[in-house]
Amino acid sequence: MLTDYHCHILPEFDDGAVDAETSLEMINIMKEQGVERIIATPHFYAHEERSLTEYLLRREDAYESMAELAAAQNMILPNIALGAEVAIEHGISKIHGIDKLAIEDSEMILLELPFRDYEEWMSEEINAIRSEYGLTVVIAHIHRYMAYYTPENFDRILQTDAVFQFNNDVFLLDKEAELLKQLKDEKRSIIFGSDAHNTDTRRPNWDLLLERCDPEVIKASNELLPFVAEEVVIGEG
């Protein structure tokens, strides 16, 4: 089941889909590219949210508005699960209920590191989330931090007990593609996501991954998420 582990399809929520129409256009592109399961991962910035509860309610509302439009269009939605792209900030691990941001029906939580050089507190927050909640940590778009971290500090991140998520466009970048090969050879857990935000500059790009990536690596990515649900029919077909 081809799975997009990281994308921003929820409408009017973050810097992703600007409205429900765009959400459905993005989903249709994904379906055409063979995607069968989508993990919606809107940004969670603790310093911008009034509460975790309010975030979860807004996320549900965004999903429902998208689903309602799909129903009105008699559109068949693929398997969609809600998650979040959680920014690592000071004290993030101490937010009560932070485990509710894990991917639905799983113990995997997608974490985004700060785009500045590494500091020890980052690992402390990651380790606390993993140990206190029993979650599997997924580091979002691991290759993007190479431009910000010193080689020594980047190596420290690679030593994290985590799953490493790569964006599908990693194959367009030589150094970043080498990182993917390195982690594959080390038999680290790797998953993929489009990190799609729209239908233009950051559109779904699974055609690129399917063309460039070893099918066995894609297969392992798809199988890492344990739950499998049937496709849901919205509206009367």
Residue 135 belongs to a domain with what CATH number?
A: 3.20.20.140
- 54-75 pLDDT, tens digit per residue, is 999 999 999 999 999 999 999 9
pLDDT over 60 at 210, yes or no:
yes
Question: Does a structural domain hold residue 120?
Answer: yes
pLDDT on residue 226: 75
Question: Does a structural domain hold residue 77?
Answer: yes
- Vertex 92: Cα angle to 124 and 131 (nearest 5): 50
pLDDT over 70 at 145, yes or no:
yes
Output the average pLDDT for the chain.
Answer: 93
- 74-85 pLDDT, tens digit per residue, is 999 999 999 999
Question: Does a structural domain hold residue 147?
Answer: yes
Question: Does a structural domain hold residue 233?
Answer: no
Question: Does a structural domain hold residue 237?
Answer: no
pLDDT over 80 at 166, yes or no:
yes
Q: What is the pLDDT averaged over residues 76-103?
A: 96
Question: Does a structural domain hold residue 206?
Answer: yes
- The SS3 of residue 139 is strand
Residue 28 in tokens: 């249709």
DSSP 149: S
Question: Does a structural domain hold residue 235?
Answer: no
Residue 229 in tokens: 């649900």
**Residues of the domain holding 100:** 3-228
Question: pTM for the whole thing?
Answer: 0.93
Q: What is the pLDDT averaged over residues 124-148?
A: 96
pLDDT on residue 209: 96
pLDDT over 60 at 102, yes or no:
yes
Band of pLDDT at residue 233, cut at 50, 70 and 90: very low
Q: What is the pLDDT averaged over residues 137-146?
A: 97
pLDDT over 80 at 235, yes or no:
no
Q: What is the pLDDT averaged over residues 134-138?
A: 96
Helix (H) or strand (E) holding 217: helix 215-224
> How large a percentage of the chain has pLDDT more than 90?
94
Per the structure, the count of domains in the chain is: 1
pLDDT over 50 at 154, yes or no:
yes
* Spatial CA neighbour of 85 closest among 143, 16, 157: 16
Question: Does a structural domain hold residue 23?
Answer: yes
Task: List CB contacts of 203: < 8 A, sequence separation 6 or more.
Answer: 26, 29, 196
Band of pLDDT at residue 191, cut at 50, 70 and 90: very high
